């Protein structure tokens, strides 16, 4: 998936991390360099929702409270009869982080998943634009001119 916006072409490198246990060891470097995160839990698993909150704390720790882009995905919405986590709980969590919340069924409509990644890409572009420093803006452009000449 390519995502273009003004001065950026974003080529997402999607790495799937599973947090089924407490050991984050080898994944820590990946979590550190990521530009954004899609955090997924299953509405039929209270455990996955609880774990997600732990993962979010790790993200905050690695990114030093920099409000890095996150999208919360609540998967398996087709299994309503087995639901363990209410939509409100997911929504409240997302609101507390100030990030988008999408409840979906990956098995019923994959386009919702694509939309979620697009939303994240848009947030990453905006985040990078906002976090460019004065020196990046002035000398970044100057540096590029030198390289291309």
Q: Which residues contribute to the site for ligand GTP (CB under 6 A)?
A: 18, 42, 75-76, 78-79, 105-107
Are the C-beta atoms of residues 38 and 114 closer than 8 Å to each other?
no
**In 10 A of CB 44, how many CB atoms?**
18
Q: Percent helix, strand and coil across the chain, each rounded to 5?
A: 50, 15, 35
CB of 99 to ligand GTP, least distance (A): 20
Q: Which residue is listed with tokens 């100057």?
A: 142
Q: Smaller CB distance to ligand GTP: residue 80 or 126?
A: 80
Cβ proximity of 85 and 41 under 8 Å: yes
The nearer residue to ligand GTP, 78 or 115, going by C-beta atoms, is 78
CB–CB of 1/117 below 8 Å? yes
Nearer to ligand GTP, 76 or 125 (CB): 76
Q: Provide the minimum distance between the beta carbon of 126 and ligand GTP in the complex, in angstroms, as a whole number.
A: 28
Taking the complex as a whole, how short is the minimal distance between the CB of residue 97 and ligand GTP, in angstroms? Answer: 21
The minimum distance between CB 107 and ligand GTP, in angstroms, equals 4
């Amino acid at each position: 998936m390519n995502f273009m916006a003004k001065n950026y072409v974003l080529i997402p490198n999607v790495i799937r991390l599973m947090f089924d246990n407490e050991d984050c060891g080898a994944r820590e470097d990946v979590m550190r360099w990521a530009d954004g995160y899609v955090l997924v839990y299953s509405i039929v698993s209270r455990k996955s929702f609880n774990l997600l909150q732990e993962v979010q704390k790790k993200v905050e720790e690695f990114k030093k409270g920099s409000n890095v882009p996150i999208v919360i995905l609540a998967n398996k919405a087709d299994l309503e009869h087995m639901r363990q986590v209410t939509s409100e709980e997911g929504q409240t969590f997302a609101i507390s982080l100030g990030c988008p919340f999408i409840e979906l069924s990956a098995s019923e409509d994959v386009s919702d998943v694509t939309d979620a990644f697009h939303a994240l890409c848009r947030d990453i572009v905006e985040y990078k634009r906002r976090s460019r420093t004065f020196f990046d803006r002035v000398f970044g452009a100057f540096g590029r001119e030198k390289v291309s000449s």
